[in-house]
Amino acid sequence: MNVLIVGSGGREHALAWKISQSTRVKDVFVAPGNAGTALDAVNVDLDLDDYAAMVRYAKSNGVGLTVVGPEVPLANGIVDVFEAEGLKIFGPAKPAAQLEASKVFCKEILNAGNIPTADYWSFRDADSAIEMINDRFPGDSPNTACPVVVKADGLAAGKGVTVCSKKQEVLEAIELTARDKVFGDAGAEFIIEEKLEGQEASILAITDGQTIIPLPACQDHKPAYDGDTGPNTGGMGAYCPAPLVTEEDMAWVEEHVLVPTVHALKANGTPFKGVLYAGLMKGPQGIKVLEYNVRFGDPECQPLLMRLKSDLVDVLEAVADGDLARIDPLEWDTRPTCCVVMASEGYPGSYEKGRVIHGLDEASRVENVKVFHAGTALDPSGVSVNAGGRVLGVTAIGDDLKAAQNSAYEAVKCIQWQGSWYRTDIADKAL
């Protein structure tokens, strides 16, 4: 059969690379894809908002399975449209995708399942939020300690979350969200929650709403610069497995987080299938859920799929069929993987596009390395140029994490474009 992958980032390149290795798959189409997916698959220029056009494409091109990468089409109901047309598609239906698209919905499900998460309050206007803050954190100084996180309810391309320490920061975040409406409708409702201390890990699980297959834990690096400093990004690198998450933790998360979440979603009338991605904080208070995503993480997908030995198409198709129980236990390469993201000058703020990327061939010759493309495009002469903030996810596998990290950075050093940069400490926390 043919497979259609929806999206254009590093995650989608990793999916295309892995899916094209399946003996059951003839052609892999990526809509719209990037310069990297053009090498490993076939890019198709489809409008990601036009689900009817995508359905037509799937029907007339022998697409037996569609795999959705990003959250926006999921939240907007692409799965519902494909299924109504009798097409197989991997991802949650629109009502279940609210788990990521609405922080309030997510908190309600977490509470319904009695799942450990930060305490929170939800608001629709600035005044009541400020009143709550003044009640709980009395003191007129802008420097009054106020360890909370302000989160716009809706999707805000990863920008709707402000982690605060001082009262001044909290009041500014409330102002921006509720009065200046910088996140638009996404901030019409917002939550304020207690700030949790500790280290973060991502545990992704594949589920059809009955059977749950947890994947090995990963650790992302959200802050832009070394030492976890600077502004928040979509993720500057990830490695797998993350030793922070022990075997006992994994079993605990399955029992106390994943299973009750799947049950709570079902009981709510919003059964979930697809990738359930738990963003977790492990600290003095144990493990708590920071957030849920309803898709593969980017960049977590890259180091994860590089370790997966089983045929991914069998697994994704079983989910679409609602019969994940038929799948044998997944086989994983025991060797760890490390993905270093290379970014455009200015990211996560604005950046120039169209700069020629040098050294891709040299990097791809480094042993045990795969260069996944994210924000890249082919210019008219067929040369790869940057076209997004996160440009490449240079991913390596090694006998141990140090070896994987070394290979990834060896390949990174082959690559350069005007203004290119990367964090130099991806995976250091585990070494």
12 binds ligand GLY (CB under 6 A): no
Question: Is the Cβ–Cβ distance between 25 and 87 less than 8 Å?
Answer: no
Question: Which of 178/275 has CB closer to ligand GLY?
Answer: 275
Write the interaction track for ligand AMP spanning residues 111-140; mark x where CB under 6 A is met and - where it is not. Answer: -------x----------------------
* In the complex, minimum distance from the CB of residue 299 to ligand GLY, in angstroms, rounded to a whole number: 6
Separation between Cα atoms, residue 89 and residue 58, nearest integer Å: 10
Contacts 24+ apart (CB under 8 A), 380-386: 383/356, 383/357, 384/35, 384/36, 384/356, 384/357, 384/360, 385/35, 385/353, 385/354, 385/355, 385/356, 385/357, 385/417, 386/344, 386/351, 386/353, 386/354, 386/355, 386/357, 386/417, 386/420
Does 100 bind ligand AMP (CB under 6 A)? Our answer is no
Which of ligand AMP, ligand GLY, none does 187 bind, CB closer than 5 to 8 A by kind?
Answer: none
Which neighbouring-strand residues pair with 224? Answer: none
Nearest approach, Cβ of residue 218 and ligand GLY (Å): 9
Asked whether the beta carbons of 279 and 202 are under 8 A apart, the reply is yes
Among 220, 249, 311, 317, binds ligand GLY (CB under 6 A): 220
Q: Which of 44, 112, 126, 163 binds ligand AMP (CB under 6 A)?
A: 163
Which C-beta is closer to ligand AMP: that of 85 or that of 108?
108
Q: 65 has which bridge partners?
A: 3
Q: Is 40 in the site for ligand AMP (CB under 6 A)?
A: no
75 binds ligand AMP (CB under 6 A): no
Q: Which of the 8 DSSP states describes residue 214?
A: E
Nearer to ligand GLY, 187 or 237 (CB): 237
Q: Which is nearer to ligand AMP, 195 or 256 (CB)?
A: 195
Which C-beta is closer to ligand GLY: that of 274 or that of 297? 297
Is 300 an interacting residue with respect to ligand GLY (CB under 6 A)? yes
The correct pick among 260, 279, 359, 419 for binding ligand AMP (CB under 6 A) is 279
> Dihedrals φ, ψ of 363, to 5°?
-65, -40
Does residue 208 touch ligand GLY according to CB under 6 A?
Answer: no
Instruction: Specify the pairing of strand 337-343 against strand 421-422.
Output: antiparallel
Tell me the closest approach of the beta carbon of residue 97 to ligand AMP, in angstroms: 15
Positive or negative, the Cα torsion across 408, 414, 415, 420? Answer: positive
Torsion from C-alpha of 362, 300, 13, 312, nearest 10 degrees: 120
Q: Where are the alpha helices (DSSP H) in 235-347?
A: 247-253, 259-267, 301-307, 312-320
8 Å CB contact between 300 and 205: no
**Residue 272 Cα to chain centre, angstroms:** 17
Question: How would you label 378-388 residue by residue, b for 16+ Cβ within 10 Å and e otherwise?
Answer: beeeeebbbbb
Q: Does 290 bind ligand AMP (CB under 6 A)?
A: yes
List the one residue from 291, 298, 311, 317 that touches ligand AMP (CB under 6 A).
291
Nearer to ligand GLY among residue 221 and residue 355 (C-beta): 221
Report if residue 298 touches ligand GLY, rule: CB under 6 A. Answer: yes
**Per-residue contact track with ligand AMP, 166 to 195, x per CB under 6 A?**
---------------------------x-x
DSSP helix/strand/coil, 386:
strand
Out of 237, 274, 297, 375, the only residue in the binding site for ligand GLY (CB under 6 A) is: 297
Q: Any idea what the Cα angle at residue 166 is, between residues 349 and 189, rounded to 5°?
A: 65
Q: Which is nearer to ligand AMP, 42 or 244 (CB)?
A: 244
Between 69 and 398, whose beta carbon lies closer to ligand GLY?
69
Q: Is 235 in the site for ligand GLY (CB under 6 A)?
A: yes
| Residue number of the CB atom closest to ligand AMP | 291
Helix, strand, coil content of the chain in percent (nearest 5): 35, 25, 40
294 is an interface residue for ligand AMP by CB under 6 A: no
Residue 280: φ, ψ to 5°: -115, 150
Task: Tell me which residues touch ligand GLY (CB under 6 A).
Answer: 220, 234-235, 293, 297-298, 300
Binding residues for ligand AMP (CB under 6 A): 118, 149, 151, 161, 163, 193, 195-196, 200, 222, 279, 290-291
